[in-house]
């Protein structure tokens, strides 16, 4: 089972800004990984340059972080967090993940469904769908809404992190 840990690496109690090192262990190769914050108590805390706590952000960029095989290492990301009001806020870092094996299994289910329920055509029209550059037309009586659903992400959370912002007396 994947575990998520977050540690403050920069910041202190006299500023609203902190930096967290977020490590993800035992997740395997990931197809999808986004992070957000859960406010356990206290005021709003933004992340990633001003996004609301509940907005998921992708902290890695394919162009910058993918290896030669197109795989992104999500084992460590750094989050800049900012308290919006002085006081104490307790947060958890959350990661929504989909493993590559889950995504590949979905693609097989989708491919099998498309083979059994559609015909490849040359142009978009009624009851057609473009999937990765191929246009499929659903067979009579078949709806694309019956195609297998995308895999749902697994949500994992770190322990609680206490952020304090007070006046320096």
Q: What is the pLDDT of residue 169?
A: 80
> Which pLDDT score, from 0 to 100, does residue 11 have?
94
pLDDT reading at 1 higher than 90: no
Residue 95 CA to residue 35 CA, distance in Å, equals 4
- Closest by CA position to 8, among listed 96, 80, 86: 80
Segment 50-65, tens digit of pLDDT: 999 999 999 998 889 8
Please list, in sequence order, all residues whose beta carbon lies within 8 angstroms of the beta carbon of residue 134, skipping any fewer than 6 positions away: 120
| Distance separating the N- and C-terminal Cα atoms of the chain | 45
CB atoms within 10 A of CB 69: 6
DSSP state of 107: H
What domains are there in the chain, each with its CATH number? 3-99+152-165 (2.60.40.10), 102-146 (no CATH)
Task: Count other Cβ atoms within 10 Å, centred on residue 155.
Answer: 12
- Model confidence at 17, in pLDDT bands (50, 70, 90)? very high
pLDDT of 86-143, one tens digit each?
A: 999 999 999 999 999 999 999 999 999 999 999 999 999 999 999 999 999 999 999 9
pLDDT reported for residue 132: 94
> E strands of the chain, at which residues?
3-11, 17-25, 30-41, 45-47, 76-83, 87-99, 118-121, 128-131, 134-138, 154-157, 161-165
- pLDDT (0 to 100) of residue 69: 87
Q: What's the pLDDT at 28?
A: 85
Neighbour order of strands in the sheet with 118-121: 118-121, 134-138, 128-131
Written as one string, the DSSP assignment of 7-37 is EEEEE-TTSSEEEEEEEEES--SEEEEEEEE
């Amino acid at each position: 089972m994947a575990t998520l840990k977050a540690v403050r690496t920069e910041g202190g109690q006299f500023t609203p800004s902190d930096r967290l090192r977020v490590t993800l262990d035992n997740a395997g190769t990931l197809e999808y990984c986004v992070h957000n914050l859960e406010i356990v108590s206290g005021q709003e805390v933004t992340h990633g340059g001003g996004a609301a706590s509940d907005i998921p952000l992708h902290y890695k960029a394919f162009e910058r972080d993918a290896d030669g095989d197109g795989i992104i290492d999500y084992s460590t990301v750094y989050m800049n967090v900012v308290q919006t009001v002085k006081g104490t806020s307790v947060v958890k870092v959350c990661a929504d993940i989909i493993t590559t094996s889950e995504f590949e299994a979905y693609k097989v289910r989708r491919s099998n469904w498309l083979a059994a329920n559609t015909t490849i055509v040359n142009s978009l029209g009624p009851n057609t769908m473009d999937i990765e550059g191929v246009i499929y037309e659903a067979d009579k009586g078949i709806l694309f809404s019956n195609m297998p659903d995308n895999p749902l992400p697994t949500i994992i959370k770190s322990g609680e992190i206490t952020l304090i912002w007070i006046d320096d007396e």
